[in-house]
Amino acid sequence: MSSHITLDHGSGGLASQNLISDLFFKYLSDPILHRLEDAAVLPAPGGRIAFSTDSYVVDPIFFPGGNIGELAVNGTINDLSMQGARPLALSLGLILEEGLFFDDLEHIIQSIAVACEYAGVPVVTGDTKVVPRGKADKIFINTSGIGVVDNDIEIATGRVREGDIILLSGTLADHGITILTSRAGLQVAGNLRSDTRPLHFLVEKILQQEGDAIHTMRDPTRGGLGTTLAEIARATNLCMEIKEEDLAMHGEVRAACELMGLDPLYLANEGKCMVIAAPDKAEAILEAMCSVTEGSESCIVGKVTKKYPGRVVLTTVSGGTRLVEPLSGEPLPRIC
Amino acid sequence: MSSHITLDHGSGGLASQNLISDLFFKYLSDPILHRLEDAAVLPAPGGRIAFSTDSYVVDPIFFPGGNIGELAVNGTINDLSMQGARPLALSLGLILEEGLFFDDLEHIIQSIAVACEYAGVPVVTGDTKVVPRGKADKIFINTSGIGVVDNDIEIATGRVREGDIILLSGTLADHGITILTSRAGLQVAGNLRSDTRPLHFLVEKILQQEGDAIHTMRDPTRGGLGTTLAEIARATNLCMEIKEEDLAMHGEVRAACELMGLDPLYLANEGKCMVIAAPDKAEAILEAMCSVTEGSESCIVGKVTKKYPGRVVLTTVSGGTRLVEPLSGEPLPRIC
């Protein structure tokens, strides 16, 4: 292990996982933490409570389709949702750089309020720190969230089985490519926009309708769908087979990825839900997903097999196959 | 209101309060948030859940008596405790600067583990971001916490009454003066040390023993005892009368404050509990506080009267009196 923290350690890829397993887990031994799910589900008096945290350091703080504020609200709602929890409340921790424009802060707070209102999830506690100019970059936001799991469905990587179907609630890579092109100041034809949105309405719908058939859910943020699937493949020792032709992508996203030499499989999504579910319920789940605004472009994108245990395989449009490795190196910092 | 964020907005004093009331509350209207207590207590299935957040940006990150890691653990435990909650779990959100020494991070994570172990409160979910060199300062930590309120005692500013007694669990200003002298590189005779410690054992003890007589509790962190009392005086329109001779202080703290021209009433404490309680139970509460390690130096420091409504009055050692105004201007940034 190196003697310094590098950008890699925050990339969501291999170096991040090593940091967690080799350093954090060395000292922090709570079994719930070790499950490495997006939110902690705690046994509590009268029901299970979900609790999650995320810090947002996205650069730029304003981007087409959103800003750091709504991203922070939706992101933590989504972490709770992926555990099957109904989000109850958020906390808001702000670290502000001296000299931040007041108008910018107001715009961000306003977006937070609008996002909370839309989602029906309030901020109930908060904290603000200011650091001297040059000691942070405009604004960093931590949102933590608690939710209640009021069903007994277990959403867990360990429930994924051979034969399961992989569904995705829409297009790939919108958020990641929007941030990267905005930051680079690239003008791309078309309408690149972040897909930041809350996923709890969609999750509520499919859990109500087909609860027990839902084996696991993830929102493929940092590291993208490729890294998310690679983690599940490794954890289950099963093969995740996906088809390129089933992965929806906006034309301008595809063009921008080609222009910048980036693989959309590794780019962040901020409003997409990946579901792995029992095959006999896959069509019903797809229909339920499509019936919700946030899932209107849902597709079946793959299946779980034993072909290459522990690996992710992509069948390309031309009929070839390639292994999808977990992201390592080439970090894309400050995407969220 | 100015067009830029200034250091004042993070000082915990008047500018911070204005930022909250004039901007944040303009958009964020949840009544629980508006109570402005240290932690949100939410009605939840089967019991009330407390939920709190705090970001730590202390500079320097290592200081006599502790570091940013244990400070973050104890600080959020204390925010929960001040609501009468039994802390259940913490989240840990790290923002790391590229180039942070790995050894330093390990030291901090280790301290977090030790503090969690001592307190009996685990970190159950986390998040790590890394930003490029120069875009943060070494490490910022957010901890959020949830706790359960398993009694029906209401700890609230609104319960403070004329005649109530003010108790403090030990010496003043240890944390604040330690950080300021460390940062300035000042060598001070004696043993200046932060008082960072968890307060939930002490709180549990007094609530069990004299629950209903406890009207409100605060940990006087940023802004110190002076600002904390000024907030309560303003909110209740009662007078908080304290006596200088009853405020315990380590000799080296007093000397360092004089050297730096700082008023210990405004300096942060990170392990002190201020209790306002019914007068007939004050001696019993004091005894209970003194019986716990974290409260062995507790004292009665004042009483609630109607002498100067909405104000804090200090009777000095020489017998004079002075009004203690809420902190404004002269921000002391990055104390926690």
Could you give the angle at the alpha carbon of A181 between the alpha carbons of A177 and A182, nearest 5°? 115
| Residues β-bridged to residue B239 | B305
- pLDDT averaged over chain A? 87
Q: Which residues of A touch B54 (CB under 8 A)?
A: 93, 127
pLDDT band at A38 (very low <50, low <70, confident <90, very high): very low
Helix%, strand%, coil% for chain B, nearest 5: 40, 25, 35
Q: Which residues of A touch B33 (CB under 8 A)?
A: 122-126
Q: Would you state the pLDDT for residue A110?
A: 87
Q: Which residues of B touch A116 (CB under 8 A)?
A: 28
Q: Which amino acid is at B279?
A: P
Q: Would you state the pLDDT for residue B45?
A: 42
pLDDT band at A303 (very low <50, low <70, confident <90, very high): very high
pLDDT band at B34 (very low <50, low <70, confident <90, very high): low
Q: Which residues of B touch A268 (CB under 8 A)?
A: none
Strand order in the sheet with A239-243: A214-218, A274-277, A165-168, A299-305, A239-243, A312-315, A321-324
Say how many CB pairs under 8 Å bridge A and B.
Answer: 287
Read off the pLDDT of each residue in B221-227 and give the average, rounded to a whole number. 89
Interface touch B146/A49, C-beta < 8 Å: yes
Q: Would you state the pLDDT for residue B106?
A: 86
Interface touch B112/A28, C-beta < 8 Å: yes
Q: Would you state the pLDDT for residue A74?
A: 97
CA B41 to chain centre: 18
pLDDT band at B99 (very low <50, low <70, confident <90, very high): confident
Higher pLDDT, A164 or B335: A164
Give the nearest partner residue to A102 out of B5, B24, B334, using CB atoms: B5
Which range (A25-34, A325-334, B209-218) has the least confidence? Answer: A25-34
Q: What Rg, from alpha-carbon coordinates, does chain B have?
A: 19
Q: Would you state the pLDDT for residue A108?
A: 92
- Domain ranges for chain A: 7-149, 157-323
CATH topology of domain B7-149: 60s Ribosomal Protein L30; Chain: A; (3.30.1330)
pLDDT above 70 covers a percentage of chain A that reads: 87
Tell whether domain A157-323 is in CATH 3.90.650.10. Answer: yes
Interface touch A6/B140, C-beta < 8 Å: no
Count CB-CB contacts under 10 A for residue A94: 29
Q: Which residues of A touch B24 (CB under 8 A)?
A: 109, 126
Higher pLDDT, B182 or A189: B182
Which range (A15-24, A81-90, A150-159) has the least confidence? Answer: A15-24
Which range (A118-122, A242-246, B49-53, B326-330) has the least confidence? Answer: B326-330
Interface touch A142/B333, C-beta < 8 Å: no
pTM for the complete prediction? 0.90
Dump pLDDT digits (tens) for A253-290.
Answer: 999 999 889 999 999 999 999 999 999 999 999 999 99
Dump pLDDT digits (tens) for A214-232.
Answer: 999 999 998 899 989 998 9
d(CA A8, CA A326): 13
User: Residue A138 pLDDT more than 90?
Assistant: yes
- Rounded to the nearest angstrom, the minimum Cα separation between B328 and chain A is 15
The torsion region of residue A170 among left (phi > 0), alpha (psi -120 to 50) and beta comes to: left
User: Residue B37 pLDDT more than 50?
Assistant: no
d(CA B49, CA A56): 25
Interface touch B57/A95, C-beta < 8 Å: yes
Read off the pLDDT of each residue in B306-330 and give the average, rounded to a whole number. 88
Which range (A216-225, B19-28, B259-268, B318-327) has the least confidence? Answer: B19-28
pLDDT band at A239 (very low <50, low <70, confident <90, very high): very high
Read off the pLDDT of each residue in A195-205 and give the average, rounded to a whole number. 97
Dump pLDDT digits (tens) for A60-78.
Answer: 999 999 999 999 999 999 9
Instruction: Please state, in angstroms and as integers, the Cα–Cα distance from residue B255 to each residue in A188, B252, B259, B261, B324, following that order.
Output: 63, 5, 6, 10, 21
Phi, psi of A332 (to 5 degrees): -115, 85
Interface touch B5/A96, C-beta < 8 Å: yes
Read off the pLDDT of each residue in B41-65 and give the average, rounded to a whole number. 81
Dump pLDDT digits (tens) for B107-144.
Answer: 898 899 899 999 999 888 888 888 888 999 999 999 99
Q: What does the block give as tokens for A320?
A: 């070839």
A157-323 matches A7-149 in CATH topology: no
State the residue for tokens 């902190």: B327
Dump pLDDT digits (tens) for B244-281.
Answer: 999 999 999 999 999 889 999 999 999 999 999 999 99
Interface touch B49/A49, C-beta < 8 Å: yes
Dump pLDDT digits (tens) for A161-186.
Answer: 999 999 999 999 999 999 999 998 88
Higher pLDDT, B65 or A133: B65
Q: What is the ipTM of this complex?
A: 0.89
User: Residue A96 pLDDT more than 50?
Assistant: yes
